[in-house]
Amino acid sequence: MLADLIREFLDYLALERGLAANTLESYGRDLHDYDTFLNQGARGEDPASAAAVMAYLATLKAAGRSNATLARRLAALRAFYAYLGRYHGWAFNPIRHVESPKLERKLPHVLTVAEVEAILTQPDTRRPAGLRDRAMLELLYATGMRVSELLALRLDDWSAEPPRLRCRGKGGKERVLPVGEVALDLVERYVRQGRRYLLRGRDPGLLFLNRRGGRMTRQGFWKIVKKYADQAGIRKTITPHTLRHSFATHLLERGADLRAVQELLGHADISTTQIYTHVSRGRLRQAYDQAHPRA
């Protein structure tokens, strides 16, 4: 029913808006799910009616889908119907008066400085893969970049003189990040001593390579982080994003300006960055409760 329009919309997001592949995949999956719902059996729902959207949401709720899933599906539909109104003259937007479910904002998992250091020192830097792993972990914690941004880095995005890193964030937006000396030294060592052993006869131009000389996947890097966290004896829930959360929290705990942290993280809205102030206050309260004799 909507398949052709969905394909056109995804092409628009890719070509005009420059959205990342992961975002496009998510939009496509959600919208095709909605289209499948409309085409099921004798439902005969009109895609331009609010009743169709409400029936779809009711089906998702009955299936036990979380509020986060409902909110994401609504966001995809909202963008899709806005596109149809603008480029196809659809006069009625069935999403206009549908409210997104309220989401409980969960505080991110954060490591202590000691736990981060324990993870960072696990890779065996005498081996090319270990040197690569150490450089990736150091760079992730030193810059707070997203994992997708780390894996997309190209060799020419990196500069030792002056020390800087060009990073492509959501929507293709670029930002230049400062890099600390420790991460700088590790990446330089990896480029000089380790990277060539991972090339396998080809060079895709990426800064960090997998064992076959190609681009590392998010799942592959997640396994690397988990392996070193296990070796360090850390039993917390750890993902690659945990180092990004820890980066932001540790900066704010040491007095960094919230706006500066927002710029470093590449957040479009400072309200997204403010969640780390709640983490910092929570850790401060915990330290107070543990240390003060009359807490």
Is 86 in the active site? no
Q: How many angstroms separate the most distant Cα atoms in the chain?
A: 69
Q: Tell which residue, 38, 13, 28, has the closest CA to residue 72.
A: 28
Is 250 in the active site? no
Which domains are assigned to the chain? Answer: 3-87 (1.10.150.130), 113-291 (1.10.443.10)
Both tokens assigned to 237: 């829930």
| pTM higher than the cut 0.75 | no
Is the N-terminal amide bond of 162 cis, ω within 30° of 0? Answer: yes
Which residue shows structure tokens 């990342």?
A: 20
Query: CA–CA separation, 150 vs 126, rounded Å?
Result: 22
Q: What is the pLDDT along the chain (295 residues), one digit of tens a residue?
A: 688 999 999 999 988 887 778 788 989 999 999 988 888 854 556 777 788 888 888 889 899 888 888 888 888 998 998 998 888 888 777 877 777 777 566 667 889 999 999 999 999 999 999 999 999 999 999 999 999 999 999 998 987 777 778 888 776 778 888 888 899 999 999 999 999 999 988 888 999 999 889 999 999 999 999 999 999 999 888 888 899 899 988 988 888 888 888 888 888 777 777 777 766 565 555 554 555 455 4
Is 241 in the active site? yes
Is 276 in the active site? yes
Among residues 146, 168, 195, 245, the one annotated as catalytic is 146
Is 97 in the active site? no
Report residue 112: phi and psi, to 5°.
-75, 165
Among residues 170, 189, 218, 226, the one annotated as catalytic is 170
Q: Tell which residue, 97, 78, 81, has the closest CA to residue 89.
A: 81
Q: Tell which residue, 108, 126, 135, has the closest CA to residue 238.
A: 108
Among residues 81, 83, 228, 276, the one annotated as catalytic is 276
